[in-house]
C-alpha cells in the first residue's frame, strides 16, 4: 500500500481534500459565459454568510452579477457536489456488496428506470410541480423505484437474493428501458432535445428547491451507509465469512440495496442520468487509500463531489454559449477508464 494509504496520513489528507473541494467549488463560481472576477465572487459569498450580511461592502458589483452567483451558479455547484457525493458513495457500497470493481449505481437499472419515468412525463407533457419539484423529476423518482422493485422480485428466491440474477435482471431491464426511451423519442421528435438533456444529465435547471429535496435523502442514505461500513468490509471478503462472524448478510444486503436505490433515484430525479461517477471514483480511491470502507467511503464522497463539479464546470465552459450535458463529460473520462479496467481484469485472469 502507498504512503497515502498509511493510516497516519489519512486524516490530514482528508482534511486537505475537503479544503480542496471548497476551493474548487468557489473557483467554479467565477467560470462561465458571464465574466465574474474571483474577488467579486468571494465578497458576494462572504456577504451572504450568517452574521456578515450587510457588513461586507459590495460596491462596484452589479445586482445581475450577484443574482448570477447566488441564484444560478451557487445552487448549481452545490447540486453537483451533492450528486457526485451520493453517486460515488453508492458506487463504493455496491462494489463492496457485490465484490465487483465494475459495479456502479446504474447496475440494477435504477438510472434507466428514472430516465424512462422522466421521458414518459416529458412525452405526455406534465407541467405542474409538486412541493417545488417538477413532475418530470417526480416521474423519474417513481420510475427508478418501480424498476428496482421489478429487479428485486425477479432475483428473489424466498428470503434470499441471488447476486448473479440481480445483476443480470438489472442489465436486462436497463436495455428494455433504454429501448422504450428511444421509441418514445422517435414518436415525439419535438421533445427530443429535452429528453436527451435529461437522459445525459444536466445541472442547467439546478435550483435551491432541488437541493432541499435531495439533501435529506442524501443525509439519511449516507448515514445508513456509514453505519454499515464494518459490515461492508466483512461482506467484501465473502458471505460465508460474514455469516460466521454473526452478520445477517441477507438483511444487510436488502438494507443497503434499498438505500442505494433511493439515493440514486433522488439524484437522477434532480440531476438526470449521470454515469461513471460511481464506477471511477471508488475504484481509483481504492487504489490510493485501500479497501477499508471506513477510509474509502469518506474519500469517495469527497472525490465524487469534486469530480462532478469539475465535469459540470467543463460542461459550461467548453463550448459557450451552448452547454454540453454533464453525462457526456463524465462518459469521456469514464469510458477509457472502464476499458482500461476491463483490460486489467483480463490480464489478471490470464
pLDDT in tens, the chain (350 residues): 444 545 667 888 899 999 999 999 999 988 877 878 888 888 888 888 877 676 777 777 888 888 888 888 999 999 999 999 999 999 999 998 888 777 788 778 888 898 898 888 888 876 555 555 577 778 888 898 899 889 888 888 776 777 788 888 888 999 999 899 989 888 888 778 778 777 888 898 888 888 998 999 999 999 999 999 999 999 888 888 888 888 888 888 889 988 998 999 899 888 888 988 998 899 889 888 888 999 999 999 999 999 999 999 999 888 777 788 898 899 888 888 778 767 776 665 55
Predicted confidence at residue 104, as pLDDT, reads 82
CATH of the domain at 95: 1.10.3470.10
**Structural domain boundaries enclosing 132:** 3-349
What is the model's pLDDT at position 145?
A: 87
Residue 156, strand partner residues: 161
Can you read off the three cell numbers belonging to residue 138? 417526480
Burial class (CB in 10 A: 0-12, 13-18, 19+), 72: middle
Whether this prediction's pTM lies above 0.85 is answered by yes
51-74 per-position pLDDT tens digit: 767 677 777 788 888 888 888 899
d(CA 62, CA 73): 16
pLDDT at 347: 62
Please give the tally of structural domains in the chain.
Answer: 1
> Would you give the distance in Å from CA 197 to the centre of its chain?
16
pLDDT of 126: 62
For 80-126, the pLDDT digits (tens) are 999 999 999 999 999 988 887 777 887 788 888 988 988 888 888 76
Amino acid at each position: 500500500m502507498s504512503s497515502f494509504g498509511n493510516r497516519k496520513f489519512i486524516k490530514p489528507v482528508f482534511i486537505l481534500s475537503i479544503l480542496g473541494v471548497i476551493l474548487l467549488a468557489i473557483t467554479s463560481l467565477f467560470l462561465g459565459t458571464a465574466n465574474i472576477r474571483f474577488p467579486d465572487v468571494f465578497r458576494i459569498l462572504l456577504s451572504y454568510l450568517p452574521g456578515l450580511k450587510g457588513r461586507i461592502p459590495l460596491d462596484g458589483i452589479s445586482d445581475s452579477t450577484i443574482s448570477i452567483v447566488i441564484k444560478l451558479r451557487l445552487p448549481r455547484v452545490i447540486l453537483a457536489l451533492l450528486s457526485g457525493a451520493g453517486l460515488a458513495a453508492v458506487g463504493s457500497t455496491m462494489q463492496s456488496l457485490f465484490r465487483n470493481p465494475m459495479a456502479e449505481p446504474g447496475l440494477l437499472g435504477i438510472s434507466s428506470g428514472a430516465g424512462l419515468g422522466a421521458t414518459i412525463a416529458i412525452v405526455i407533457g406534465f407541467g405542474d410541480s409538486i412541493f417545488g419539484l417538477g413532475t418530470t423529476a417526480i416521474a423519474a423518482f417513481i420510475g427508478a423505484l418501480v424498476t428496482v422493485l421489478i429487479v428485486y422480485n425477479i432475483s428473489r428466491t424466498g428470503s434470499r437474493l441471488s447476486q448473479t440474477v440481480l445483476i443480470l435482471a438489472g442489465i436486462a431491464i436497463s436495455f428494455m428501458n433504454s429501448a422504450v426511451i428511444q421509441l418514445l423519442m422517435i414518436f415525439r421528435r419535438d421533445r427530443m432535445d429535452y429528453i436527451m438533456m435529461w437522459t445525459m444529465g444536466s445541472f442547467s435547471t439546478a435550483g435551491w428547491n432541488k437541493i432541499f429535496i435531495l439533501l435529506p435523502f442524501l443525509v439519511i442514505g449516507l448515514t445508513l451507509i456509514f453505519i454499515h461500513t464494518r459490515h461492508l468490509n466483512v461482506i467484501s471478503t465473502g458471505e460465508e465469512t460474514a455469516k460466521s462472524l454473526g452478520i445477517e448478510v441477507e438483511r444487510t444486503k436488502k438494507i443497503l440495496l434499498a438505500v442505494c436505490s433511493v439515493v440514486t433515484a433522488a439524484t437522477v430525479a434532480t440531476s438526470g442520468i449521470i454515469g461513471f461517477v460511481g464506477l471511477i471514483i471508488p475504484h481509483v480511491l481504492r487504489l490510493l487509500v485501500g479497501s477499508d470502507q471506513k477510509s474509502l467511503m469518506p474519500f469517495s464522497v469527497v472525490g465524487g463531489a469534486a469530480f462532478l463539479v469539475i465535469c459540470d464546470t467543463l460542461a459550461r465552459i467548453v463550448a459557450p454559449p451552448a452547454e454540453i450535458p454533464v453525462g457526456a463529460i463524465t462518459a469521456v473520462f469514464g469510458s477509457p477508464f472502464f476499458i482500461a479496467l476491463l483490460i486489467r481484469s483480463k490480464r489478471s485472469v490470464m
